[in-house]
Amino acid sequence: MSTEQSKPIKKTWSRCPACGVSVVASVVHEDGVIALLKTCPRHGEFRVVLASDPRFYYTSIGKGSCCTDNDGCSSFDELSTCIALIEIVDSCNLSCPTCYAGSPVGVGDEVDALPFSDFASRVGRVLEKKGAIDILQLTGGEPTLHPEFFKLLEWALDQDGVGYILINTNGVRIAGDEEFRERLARLRRSRGRFELYLQFDGPQSKGQSFLRGEDLRDVRTKALDEAGSSGIPSTLAMVVTRETLPFLGDTVRFGLAREHCRGVTFQPEFRSGRVSNTLPPPAQMTPITVGDVVNHVVRQSEGVLCQEDFTPLPCGDPNCHTLGYLIRHPAGTFGLSRVVDLKALQGFLSQRVNYDLSDLSQCGCETEPLGKLLAETEIKSDQPFRIFIKPFMDRWTYDQDRIDRCCTHVIRPDGQLDSFCHYYLDPQEKSQGAESSCSS
């Protein structure tokens, strides 16, 4: 598997794509890409591309070993929790072939719902430890199926420590249940502080059936526009596959045309849930990386975006979150970098590409220059259009150093926090999270 001109970058822990066992891995710069090399004693050598464009890769170092296999050992109570997800149902009204949670179909009396008392206890426990949750995301399954959905949502809105709430939805009930939608709109008008995180696979026909088993474009558009006309804003969440990659620019334009659309999150597909073991793993893998998304959306933006509009967020690991902003203006739409040098606001980015724990203090989220700027930008909700790139990890791309710096957390059934990528690595093992993590 060796190639010419290989330059070692670091050592880390990863997973065998075939069996999931923890293995030592090497990150190298070779053949113009950043690659992860690993060997499983049972299944042999594997190679996966972490960055097709090395300019979008940052050498991140985690906390170091605290367990024998260095797996899931971060104390997430000590880390920033930018987003906390909680599964309020384990059922869904769709059976998407690519569901990362592997949620079973269930509606009506068949919905497997989290009891309200458990919800309040688990979120309350995190608030006691952390003092605040910047963003609480209600997820599942399909969260709008919860029989006490509004009781849960109103309770969360009553908590001073919860800054904002995202409702992670496929849009089916939002589009089809007028009474539910109107009740949600009334709550938004009276209380604010939440929006839809709407599953949306682009305005094109390609890739829809592969992702969802059917074409749901009309449902998503109705959910987006009906909610928007009622005062409920949305962020589009698009899974990026090889089929949908050519349509990122169309998705941005689709969202920009709607004032009630706050932005789009591009999530490169990853092999978890229903897709994790559908095919035997090849020896090499080239997934869609952050650089692929940035370069494609820039080319497809017809000059509106440029690479300088995108910057990683160092509040977690800089390989975990990449953010860009478009500004809606009467004179035309333009990227935020036209008026602000984003990288100059992040000292560790302007001089080098190494990142370690000491750099966490340079983010500050609210106190440092970049954090202040982003907060001010978000306040002007009628102008900015957020473009977020979130590359989740699977067995192939798993890097323990990223887990050690994760700020996207799941509130587990035992009330402890876990990294999203660690929690969903093997969904069938989610209930065993307390045994597989050293979080306390």
Average pLDDT, stretch 348-376?
A: 45
Average pLDDT, the chain: 84
Cα distance between residue 342 and residue 311, in whole Å: 7
| Lowest mean per-residue pLDDT among 71-80, 306-315, 347-356 | 347-356
3-class state of residue 342 by DSSP: coil
Q: What is the pLDDT of residue 370?
A: 57
| Residues 145, 89 contacting (CB under 8 angstroms) | yes
Cα distance between residue 142 and residue 101, in whole Å: 11
| Lowest mean per-residue pLDDT among 108-117, 173-182, 281-290, 312-321 | 312-321
Q: What is the pLDDT of residue 58?
A: 87
Confidence of residue 434 (pLDDT cuts 50, 70, 90): very low
Average pLDDT, stretch 292-316?
A: 91
Q: What is the pLDDT of residue 350?
A: 39
Average pLDDT, stretch 274-295?
A: 81
Assess whether pLDDT exceeds 90 at residue 360.
no
Assess whether pLDDT exceeds 70 at residue 186.
yes
Q: What is the pLDDT of residue 178?
A: 97
- Which tens digits make up the pLDDT trace of 373-416? 656 665 455 578 999 999 999 999 999 999 988 889 999 998 89
Instruction: Output the DSSP codes for 254-311.
Output: HHHT-TTEEEEEEEE----GGGTTSS---SEE----HHHHHHHHHHHTTTS--GGGEE
Average pLDDT, stretch 68-97?
A: 75
| Residues 397, 48 contacting (CB under 8 angstroms) | yes
Average pLDDT, stretch 426-438?
A: 46
Assess whether pLDDT exceeds 70 at residue 428.
no
Assess whether pLDDT exceeds 90 at residue 142.
yes
Cα distance between residue 426 and residue 187, in whole Å: 36
Q: What is the pLDDT of residue 197?
A: 97
| Lowest mean per-residue pLDDT among 29-33, 113-117, 329-333 | 329-333
Helices (H), 301-383: 347-351, 369-379
Domain range summary for the chain, segments of one domain joined by +: 83-389
Q: What is the pLDDT of residue 432?
A: 45
Q: What is the pLDDT of residue 358?
A: 41
Residue 279 vs residue 26, higher pLDDT? 26
Residue 276 vs residue 226, higher pLDDT? 226
Assess whether pLDDT exceeds 90 at residue 346.
no
Using CA of residue 270, residue 438, residue 408, residue 93, what is the dihedral sign? positive
Cα distance between residue 255 and residue 120, in whole Å: 34
- Which tens digits make up the pLDDT trace of 37-81? 999 999 999 999 999 999 999 887 766 433 334 444 446 777 778
Q: What is the pLDDT of residue 371?
A: 59
Q: What is the pLDDT of residue 258?
A: 95
CATH superfamily of 83-389: Aldolase class I (3.20.20.70)
Run of H or E including 164: strand 162-169
